[in-house]
Amino acid sequence: MEILIFFIAHWYLSLLMQTFFLHRYAAHKIFTMSPGWEKFFYTLTWIFQGSSFLSPYAYGVMHRLHHAHADTEDDPHSPEFSKNIFDMMLKTKNYYNNIVHRRDTIAAKFKKGVPHWAFMERIGDSWLSRISWGVVYTQFYIQFATEWWMFLLLPIHFLMGPVHGVIINWYAHRYGYVNFKVNDTAKNLLPFDFLMMGESYHNNHHKYGGRANFGFKWHEFDPTYPFILLLNALKIIKLKPNNDLNYM
């Protein structure tokens, strides 16, 4: 039971930081927050993503490129230009590392306003941090695992961020249904997104990238949206004006 709880908690807490902070804030700036709260969520991202910490700066820049060049040769992660999932993951990793280490030649317009906290970026991207988190996960499994097969879940813990990314970047461009016509292959992977906290409504998001609520139809519940509304009500974040959260 402890292993199941730990796995589910890591899955959803890591995913929450990816969709709320890296995606909707760093990449799209759907809402704003103070520098203090930005550092707070930066730190939570490091804690919740752990060994698979993704740089909010690199994620934000790369995701903006994805929207600008979806399913073209300039897309950082398109199934249309990759042989398989692993090939796409490798290309994404190389693209990501070039941004993190400032070896890229990406136009400045894609970097404007993307959060960057150098201190936490260095910590989160260090091998000491990644290995230390991996040791923590392993020790937990040694302490509480009751069956050998439970240890097969550990690689998912180690690569939680990339696992979440590949589910959307690969599968949501190949499988699912379409609500809106867009100039790429983005699809809604799940009719009820119990797995990806709204991220699987990829077609909706590609049509309306600045919309806080990724769901449109009655059955498309975006679990991250109530969290955004709560933080907005508490004045921790501020949704941008004229963001019609309930249209369509």
pLDDT mean over 105-112: 93
Q: What is the 3-state secondary structure (H, E, C) of 35-66?
A: HHHHHHHHHHHHHHHHHHCCCHHHHHHHHHHH
Tens of pLDDT, residue by residue over 70-81, are: 999 989 999 988
**Reduced to 3 states, what is the DSSP secondary structure of residue 201?**
strand
Domains of the chain, by residue range, sit at: 2-185
**Residue listed under structure tokens 């709880």:** 5
DSSP 240: P
Burial 26-54 (b: 16+ CB within 10 A, else e): bbbbbbebeeeebeebbeebbebbbbbbb
| % of the chain at pLDDT higher than 90 | 91
Split at pLDDT 50, 70, 90, the class of 87 is very high
Output the pTM of the full model. Answer: 0.93
Tens of pLDDT, residue by residue over 172-222, are: 999 999 999 999 999 999 999 999 999 999 999 999 999 999 999 999 999
Question: Is the dihedral angle over the CA atoms 129, 131, 132, 133 positive or is it negative?
Answer: positive
